[in-house]
Structure 1
Amino acid sequence: MFDVSIEDAIPPAFLYSLLALTVAYHIFAPLCSTVKQQSWILTTISSAAMSLSSLPLFFLYASSRGDLRGIRSTPWTESTGRFFQAYLVADLLMGVIYYRSKVNLLTGWIHHTIYIFIVEYACRQGWSHLFALCAVMEIPTFLLAIASLNPRFRSDVVFAMSFLATRIVLHVFLCVSMVASRHHVTNDSYGPGLIMACIFPLHAFWFYGSLKGFVKRAKSPKPQPVSQGTVTASGFTSLRARSWMLPRRRGSLRQAVRAWDRLELRKAAGRFGDQVYAYVGLERLPSGEPQQTGAKTESSF
């Protein structure tokens, strides 16, 4: 009844990319020590691939002084769009399974869903080359992602400059070019230009937020280093007071524990009794009698 193959319904580039990204996540996830790092694995891979894929088109766009007529859709630009769609789907799927707390409503579900449809619209209209060109804006995303995986690569200045250059300045140029060249590039359609114009306020808001963060960190007072060789009188007095009070507190706790056992209320105390025993340095024998031990125990408080 329906003569539609799976290749027509779901492009192979999307399926292969989704499989590759899923495998890549499970390879690199065990190397991450935090959930936050795991949540940035796919973003790092995607932003790196998209940035590299866009560079030939960006150089062509820059060398032609903003003329889009020399850029055409190819199977490569089509595959680039399908790869980005696969990343969006994979990030949501892996997020639901492994890092749900890091996938929020705005930058996760809403953002990814909207971009899935934007890429689909561009590919169906034959404008995949325009989307692939705009993928150069993923350079700031890569810088942010790689810094999230390893803080040693973090540079607020480099990130801010790349964001300003791509998602603010270049964004404006691309928006103007798409509107000005619509007769030759998009068959007089304002679609790409309108999409770019709608996205720009979000980029401007993000950039404004990053600038506010820089100013706030610059104005915050830096902690003054304390010399380790200097011992103040108040600190010495406090240290002596703590060292004098600690044995008395432990002795009081030991007496309370022994009285606790004599009254046979230990069973009603549950796990709290175990914590008290661990703190005062006592171990329980199978018979229930406490026994002092010289081993240092860690408090579970």
Structure 2
Amino acid sequence: MFDVSIEDAIPPAFLYSFLALIVAYHVFAPLCSTVKQRSWILTTISSAAMSLSSLPLFFHYVSSWGDLRGMRSTFWTESTGRFFQAYLIADLLMGVVYYRSKINLLTGWIHHTIYTVIVGYTSHMGWSHLFTLCAVMEVPTFILAIASLNPRFRSDIIFALSFFATRIVLHVFLCASMVVSRHNVTNDSYGPGILMACIFPLHAFWFYGCLKGFVKRAKSAKPQPVKQGTVTASPSPSEFTSIRARSWTLPRRRGSLRQAVRAWDRLGLRTAAGRFGDVQRRLRASLPVAREQVYAYVGLEIPPSGEPQWTDAVMTESSASL
């Protein structure tokens, strides 16, 4: 009564692809250091395989100016669809086990489930060649996936251009071709055209999010307004050395100098009439006594504001010492 073979229930292409993807994940997972990287392993493999598989049909479509009548479903296109089915299920299975936090509702469970049904439907209707042709839209997915594995390969411009070229422009042309050529391609069925039309809003929404990301990053990259009196240019090496000398050497020297001068004045007052007064007077006679003279002696000058500053000679010497 139920004469259904295993090959019909589980096509060999699906089974072999599923096992190969599971093995590939466990081979490459130890090479990834984060959960995010591990969650992109199967997507990278799948998007690369699907993009390459679609190229012959894509070149035929472009060279024939959008004519779908010369395409037919083959073992290759059927196997490509089953491989994609295997990826969708393997990604959910590995996600539940190893990277559950990266499997969200929309782009994970809903997206994978819907596309598993779509692949089965197109295979059953004999339209696997149309699905394989549409797999060229996996090119931006591969660009995003490889950048997630290694940030050095990230290029927002290339991703945005590839997304716009395949999932917006090409998507519109494919949808129109499937409707116009339905008499000779899909036996008058609007099914492929309706599927393409239903998927397009999701691609448009993703591209809108991509553009919003560009605008947000552009705004955050604008230089902040500079307050009046602040220096915007980076100092040269000599200026940087001078700044360091002023910020570290001057406060210590100024404080020590002030303390020494004050102590000297107090010492002179206390000991002027003392036992060593005569020696002190001789010593003070040989050194500058007034504060202005002391500052000038060690290389300081007192501006009208009253705050001592280093002269050019002292600053040059301090900069050279650093």
Q: Which residue is equivalent to 1:279? A: none
Q: Which residue is equivalent to 1:56? A: 56
Q: Deviations over 1:176-230 (max 9, x none)?
A: 0000000100010000000000000110111011011001101114578987955
- 1:151 aligned to 2:175? no
Seen in structure 2, the aligned counterparts of structure 1 residues 30 and 3 have a Cα distance that, compared at 3 Å, is same
Q: Which runs of 5+ in 1 are unaligned?
A: 238-301
- 1:211 aligned to 2:224? no
- 1:15 aligned to 2:15? yes
Amino acid paired to 1:62: V
Q: Which residue is equivalent to 1:102? A: 102
Other structure's SS at 2:94 match: helix
CA distance in 2, matches of 1:85, 1:204: 24
- 1:193 aligned to 2:193? yes
Amino acid paired to 1:64: S
Q: Which residue is equivalent to 1:276? A: none
Q: Which residue is equivalent to 2:140? A: 140
Amino acid paired to 1:23: V
CA distance in 1, matches of 2:247, 2:140: 51
Other structure's SS at 1:68 match: coil
Deviation (angstroms), 1:4: 1.7
Q: TM-score, normalised by structure 2?
A: 0.70
- Matches for 1:63-102 after TM superposition, within 5 Å: 63-102=63-102
Q: Which residue is equivalent to 2:173? A: 173
CA distance in 2, matches of 1:226, 1:126: 67
- Matches for 1:16-31 after TM superposition, within 5 Å: 16-31=16-31
Amino acid paired to 2:13: A
Deviation (angstroms), 1:161: 0.4
CA distance in 2, matches of 1:102, 1:14: 24
Deviation beyond 2 Å, 4+ runs, structure 1: 221-234
CA distance in 2, matches of 1:15, 1:173: 34
CA distance in 1, matches of 2:104, 2:234: 41
Q: Percent identity?
A: 81
Q: TM-score, normalised by structure 1?
A: 0.75
When the two chains are superposed, the root-mean-square deviation of aligned CA atoms in Å is: 2.0
CA distance in 1, matches of 2:4, 2:211: 51
Other structure's SS at 1:205 match: helix
CA distance in 1, matches of 2:193, 2:118: 12
Other structure's SS at 1:70 match: coil
How many residue pairs get aligned? The number is 236
Which structure's CA Rg is the greater one? Answer: 2
Seen in structure 2, the aligned counterparts of structure 1 residues 226 and 149 have a Cα distance that, compared at 3 Å, is farther
CA distance in 2, matches of 1:19, 1:169: 35
